[in-house]
């Protein structure tokens, strides 16, 4: 970064802000003159969420600037080009608590108020933040909080200005993420009194056209589902009030939130004489490159649910859920789903930013955290911390971008060394979260710790080999062989859950009779003990169908996928879900699961999309193709980066495969090279 950037700018803050949540939004204002029509460059960063306005109008459609980082470790700035006409102008920076000082910060701001730094450069002039700026916290936003919502009275202009205060802080780096924007609009699908159903569970907010007298308080409550009486079910939001309050200026007006977002399908509006509503889906604006259709409407809906759930949880970084008092970047959820995310969309830069947060939080002894930012829920947890190895490897496997490995290699080696040191001391490799939210079928935590250490070790060895670090690759391959031998000796009697068997099989940790024992248990437990149902939690579910298909039980994998009774993927669909649930039992005939941990928008179990594309349709990231037809489907068709594969059952014995290879590309269908264009094969089952 050039030393000239922010050379004269100062971090400024509103001295009336006490650093506690639910404070008014402050506006920082500076007038300036332009002698001729020109183009300016605006750079700005903030601890909090800043909205820049030129002459009262937003200068960008990007939301929640400058993004979410661990503000103690680094800051990032955004840059925009702005046309300026000759004359006088006013630059306003509205600053809300956001991720820095709101409830979501968990007090990590140490009672410091939000602050902002900016410079506007045009011709030979620089307008930058310093103690010449005026600020006010007496305006239209009484508060705006990510968990709690927003309180807006548009009739109150900013007033009683005072001088901004200056603070010393670190120099920001250039933004490394993917901007958040309004992506898709949802109209009212149904309206019952004051309750509106938008038809889909989304992340964003509602925009209302409201008719009410001046001074009337309008309250908008958000919820994902309705209870059995048709009322909003909001207990699962926990402490997040998730409500927007709008004070009507009189007549008919439009209200759109500015510094908050919600996870919802339904809203309930009180106080308006009349209103109409539409909802906006918000997420980081990366491109999608997926296509999926089949002869099964339920399966088609499942894939739609997976995609929407990913969109809902890809706001600035991969979050666990968008609705309750959490919305955090859990590493376990991210590594579970990253393969599916890469099949769905161009998320390389999105995950690159996430990995930057992981590295910044890596402990000196090499342990990766379990969530970022604010890594306060432990370090070195099996299946969670391993995201620091798994995600960069998968990004490379999908994109062949070696820079992602180069950027992460040092941190990966430190993490492996951390686990190796514990292993050599005979210490238990931690797996505190276990096979999260499994159904009455826990997996031994020491087995999980050893399995993920071995898996990260073999991936790190592959990364070393790709980067031509032969000595490290050989060392890690030898370590993996040792870990595999010990795993079989140590855990042969612990292969007693679907997740234990699926993980051990998929990670190649079993041989001979022990491997067959795991296969046999898996098949028996699914078919006999559980009558064609699963019981796996977060860590085992991504590998469950792979373990079956890769070990001569492809039809059982299909039967499990197509199961429609509880617990199953399609049970959620039959229950009307439009996104993935956090729990298999989020809603059953017994009612709602515990409200303390019951999100209806959690992408982890959507990791089955990786099996659907990579195994059922058979598209691998390197464009090798090996479909695994099965189940009751008559046909299935999917695309990944314009490579389209379709199979359809012609009769009981024959299947037709159609492959459309994009231009300037070579695909490989079961060993046969395919040039660009359409190819058709008829094969016996």
Domains of the chain by range and CATH?
11-174 (2.60.120.260), 180-284 (2.60.120.260), 290-616 (1.50.10.10)
**Contact status, residue 549 vs residue 506, Cβ threshold 8 Å:** no
What distance lies between CA 668 and its chain's CA centroid?
A: 32
Listed in sequence order, the residues at least 6 apart from 64 whose beta carbon sits closer than 8 Å to its beta carbon are: 49, 98, 180, 259, 261, 315, 316
- Encode 562-587 in three state secondary structure: HCCCCCCHHHHHHCCCCCCCCCCCCE
φ, ψ of residue 24 to 5 degrees: the values are -60, 150
Neighbours of 18 (CB within 10 A): 11
- Backbone angles phi and psi of 373, in degrees to 5: -65, 180
Band (pLDDT 50/70/90 cuts) for residue 168 is: confident
| Planar angle of CA 451, 452, 454, nearest 5 degrees | 70
Q: Compute φ and ψ for 550, nearest 5 degrees.
A: -80, -5
β-partners of residue 646 are 637, 658
> Of all helices (H) and strands (E), which one includes residue 333?
helix 331-344
Task: For the chain, give the percent of residues with pLDDT over 70.
Answer: 100
Asked whether residue 230 carries a pLDDT value surpassing 70, the answer given is yes
At residue 206, does pLDDT exceed 60?
Answer: yes
For residues 389-413, average pLDDT: 98
Contact residues for 520 (Cβ-Cβ < 8 A; gap 6+): none
Separation of first and last alpha carbons in the chain: 59
Cis peptide, bond prior to residue 373, ω within 30 of zero = yes
Average pLDDT over residues 170-196: 97
Beta-strand relationship, 76-84 and 173-174:
parallel
How confident is the model over 121-137, as pLDDT tens digits?
999 899 999 999 999 99
pLDDT for 374: 80
Q: Is residue 218 within 8 Å of 243, Cβ to Cβ?
A: no
Among 256, 301, 303, 259, which Cα is nearest to 280's? 256
Characterize 525-549 residue by residue with b for buried, 16 or more Cβ atoms within 10 angstroms of its Cβ, and e for exposed.
bbeeebeebbbbbbbbbbbbbbbbb
Task: Please say whether the dihedral angle defined by the alpha carbons of residues 254, 204, 327 and 243, taken in this order, is positive or negative.
Answer: positive
Task: Find the helix or strand (DSSP H, E) in which 57 lies.
Answer: strand 57-58
Q: How far is Cα 210 from Cα 181, in angstroms, rounded to an integer?
A: 24
pLDDT at 4: 83
Which of 553, 548, 561 lies closest to 631 in space, CA to CA? 561
Q: For tokens 């999917």, what's the residue? A: 638
**How far is 560 from 557, CA to CA, in rounded Å?**
5
What is the Cα–Cα distance from 644 to 661, expressed in whole angstroms? Answer: 7
Q: Is residue 528 over pLDDT 90?
A: yes
3-state secondary structure 462-474: HHHHHCCCHHHHH
What's residue 262's pLDDT?
A: 98
Residues in the chain: 685
Supply 476's token pair.
Answer: 């890690």
pLDDT exceeds cutoff 80 at 619: yes
- Please, what is the average pLDDT of the chain? 96
Q: Quick one: DSSP state of residue 613?
A: I
Confidence band, pLDDT 50/70/90 cuts, at residue 496: very high
Burial level of 75, CB count in 10 A (0-12/13-18/19+)? buried
pLDDT cut 90: percent of the chain above it: 95
Distance CA 102, CA 119 (A): 25
Is omega for the bond preceding 66 within 30 degrees of 0, making it cis?
yes
Q: Strand 290-294 vs strand 38-47: parallel, antiparallel, or unpaired?
A: unpaired
Query: Can you tell me the distance from the alpha carbon of 63 to that of 20, in angstroms, rounded to the nearest whole number?
Result: 23
- The mean per-residue pLDDT over the stretch 452-481 comes to 98
583-592 confidence digits (pLDDT tens): 999 999 999 9
Residue 511 has pLDDT above 50, yes or no: yes
**pLDDT band for position 2 (cuts 50, 70, 90):** low
Residue 125 corresponds to which tokens in the numbers above? 């002039």
Determine contact, residues 119/108, Cβ cutoff 8 Å.
no
User: What does the CA dihedral 372, 374, 240, 182 come to, rounded to 10 degrees?
Assistant: -50
Backbone φ and ψ of 606, nearest 5°? -75, -5
Kindly report the backbone phi and psi dihedral angles of residue 602, in degrees, each rounded to the nearest multiple of 5, phi listed first.
-140, 115
- Determine the Cα–Cα distance for residues 37 and 273; give it in Å rounded to an integer: 46
Q: What is the pLDDT of residue 52?
A: 98
Residue with tokens 């007033």: 159
Dihedral angle sign, alpha carbons of residues 141, 142, 144, 149: negative
Q: Say yes or no to pLDDT of 647 above 80.
A: yes
If we measure between CA atoms, which residue out of 362, 357, 441, 461 comes closest to residue 71?
A: 357
1: pLDDT confidence band, cut at 50, 70 and 90?
very low
HSE-CB of 525 using CA atoms within 13 angstroms:
22
Q: Residue 117 in contact with residue 46, Cβ under 8 Å?
A: yes
Give pLDDT tens digits for 53-100. 999 999 999 999 999 999 999 999 999 999 999 999 999 999 999 999
For residue 3, pLDDT beyond 80: no
pLDDT above 90 for 295: yes
* CA–CA dist 630, 553 (Å, integer): 10
């Amino acid at each position: 970064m050039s030393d000239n950037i922010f050379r004269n700018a100062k971090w400024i803050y509103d001295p009336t802000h006490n650093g506690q949540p639910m404070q008014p939004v402050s506006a920082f204002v500076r007038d300036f003159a332009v002698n001729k029509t020109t183009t300016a460059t605006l750079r700005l960063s903030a601890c909090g969420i800043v909205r820049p306005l030129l002459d009262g109008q937003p200068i960008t459609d990007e939301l929640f600037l400058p993004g979410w980082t661990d503000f103690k470790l680094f800051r990032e700035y955004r840059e925009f080009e702005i046309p300026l006409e000759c004359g006088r102008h006013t630059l306003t920076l509205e600053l809300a608590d956001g991720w820095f000082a709101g409830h979501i910060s968990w007090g990590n701001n140490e009672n410091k108020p939000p602050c902002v730094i900016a410079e506007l450069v045009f011709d030979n002039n620089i307008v930058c933040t310093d103690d010449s700026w005026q600020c006010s916290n007496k305006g239209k936003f009484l508060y705006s909080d990510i968990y709690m919502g927003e309180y807006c009275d548009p009739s109150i202009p900013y007033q009683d200005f005072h001088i901004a205060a200056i603070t010393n802080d670190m120099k920001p780096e250039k933004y490394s993420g993917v901007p958040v924007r309004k992506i898709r609009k949802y109209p009212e699908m149904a309206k019952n009194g004051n309750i509106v159903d938008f038809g889909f569970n989304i992340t964003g907010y509602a925009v209302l056209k409201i008719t009410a007298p001046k001074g009337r308080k309008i309250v908008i409550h958000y919820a994902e589902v309705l209870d059995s009486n048709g009322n909003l079910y909001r207990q699962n939001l926990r402490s997040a009030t998730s409500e927007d309050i709008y004070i009507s200026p009189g007549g008919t007006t439009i209200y759109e939130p500015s510094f908050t977002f919600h996870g919802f399908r339904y809203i309930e509006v009180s106080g308006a004489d009349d209103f109409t509503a539409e909802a906006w889906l918000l997420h980081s604006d990366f491109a999608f490159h997926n296509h999926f259709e089949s002869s099964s409407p339920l399966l088609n809906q499942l894939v739609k649910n997976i995609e929407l759930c990913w969109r809902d949880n890809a706001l600035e970084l991969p979050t666990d859920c968008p609705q309750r008092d959490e919305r955090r970047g859990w590493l376990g959820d991210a590594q579970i789903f990253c393969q599916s995310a890469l099949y769905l969309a161009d998320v390389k830069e999105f995950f690159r930013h996430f990995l930057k947060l992981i590295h910044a939080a890596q402990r000196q002894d090499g342990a990766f955290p379990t969530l970022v930012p604010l890594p306060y829920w432990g370090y070195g947890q099996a299946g969670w911390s391993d995201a620091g190895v798994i995600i960069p490897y998968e990004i490379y496997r999908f994109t062949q971008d070696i820079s992602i490995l180069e950027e992460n290699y040092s941190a990966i080696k430190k993490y492996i060394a951390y686990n190796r040191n514990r292993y050599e001391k005979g210490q238990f490799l931690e797996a505190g979260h276990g096979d999260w939210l499994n159904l009455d079928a826990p997996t031994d935590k020491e087995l999980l710790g050893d399995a993920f250490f071995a898996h990260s070790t073999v991936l790190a060895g592959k990364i070393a080999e790709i980067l031509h670090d032969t000595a490290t690759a050989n060392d890690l391959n030898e370590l993996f062989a040792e870990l595999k031998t010990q795993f079989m000796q140590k855990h042969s009697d612990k292969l007693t859950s679907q997740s234990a068997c699926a993980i051990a099989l998929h990670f190649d940790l079993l041989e001979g009779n022990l491997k067959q024992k795991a296969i046999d248990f898996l098949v028996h437990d699914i078919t006999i003990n559980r009558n064609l149902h699963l019981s796996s939690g977060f860590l085992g579910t991504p590998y469950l169908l792979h373990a079956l298909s890769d070990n001569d039980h492809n039809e059982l994998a299909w039967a499990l996928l197509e199961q429609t009774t509880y617990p199953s993927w399609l049970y959620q669909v039959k229950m009307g879900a439009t996104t993935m649930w956090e729990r298999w039992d989020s809603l059953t005939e017994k009612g709602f699961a515990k409200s303390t941990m019951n999100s209806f928008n959690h992408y982890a179990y959507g990791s089955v999309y990786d099996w659907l594309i990579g195994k059922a349709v058979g598209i691998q990231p390197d464009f090798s193709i090996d479909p695994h037809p099965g189940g009751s489907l008559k046909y299935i068709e999917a695309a990944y980066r314009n490579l389209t594969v379709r199979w359809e059952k012609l009769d009981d014995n024959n299947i037709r495969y159609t492959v459309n290879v994009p231009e300037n590309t070579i695909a490989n269908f079961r060993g046969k090279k395919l040039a660009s264009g359409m190819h058709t094969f008829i094969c016996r089952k």
